[in-house]
Amino acid sequence: MSSQSAGGYRWEVQEVAAALTHLHRALLDEQRTEHERAHGPVAPGQLLHLALNDPSFAWLRVLSEFMTDLDALLDEEDPPSELEAGALRWELQEVLSAAAERGFWDRCLPLLQVPAVAMAYGRLRSVLERLPAAPPAGGAEEARANHRWAIARAGRRAP
């Protein structure tokens, strides 16, 4: 059942969050394997340290930040609005495209040949389609700038 009838998109955003977590894990596993080929086995507690601090894992941080912001949005008492869900879809689609910043797409694209990554990526793209499309051009920037999602994301990107 969709949460749209209750005036929000909590259920749909929860699905996006779960799919994004699955994709992040698949990509993290592949990066770990690459790191282990170059540097040897990663100790059980070392992966978190690498994900947070190692330059070879930096490209994944855009997804980590996105997941953190999604969790914060879902922790709010009010469910995400149509405008917020549309802005979330728009921004995540940008991250998952050749237009992505910080080299994310350059690292992700070849990994789409790995079955676990391809399946997770496909699932995320599928659940993103359940969110409303971003507002039409013209009013989109102003609309995106005035809701919780944009404010949280802008605060994270501030110097």
Each residue's pLDDT tens digit, 32-68: 999 999 999 998 789 999 999 999 999 999 899 999 9
| pLDDT one digit per residue (tens) for the chain, 159 residues | 444 545 589 999 999 999 999 999 999 999 999 999 999 999 878 999 999 999 999 999 989 999 999 998 899 898 998 888 888 898 898 888 887 665 788 899 999 999 999 999 999 999 999 999 865 554 555 554 555 666 666 665 555
Which burial class, exposed, middle or buried, applies to 51 when counting CB atoms under 10 A from its CB (0-12, 13-18, 19+)? middle
Rounded to two decimals, the pTM is 0.82
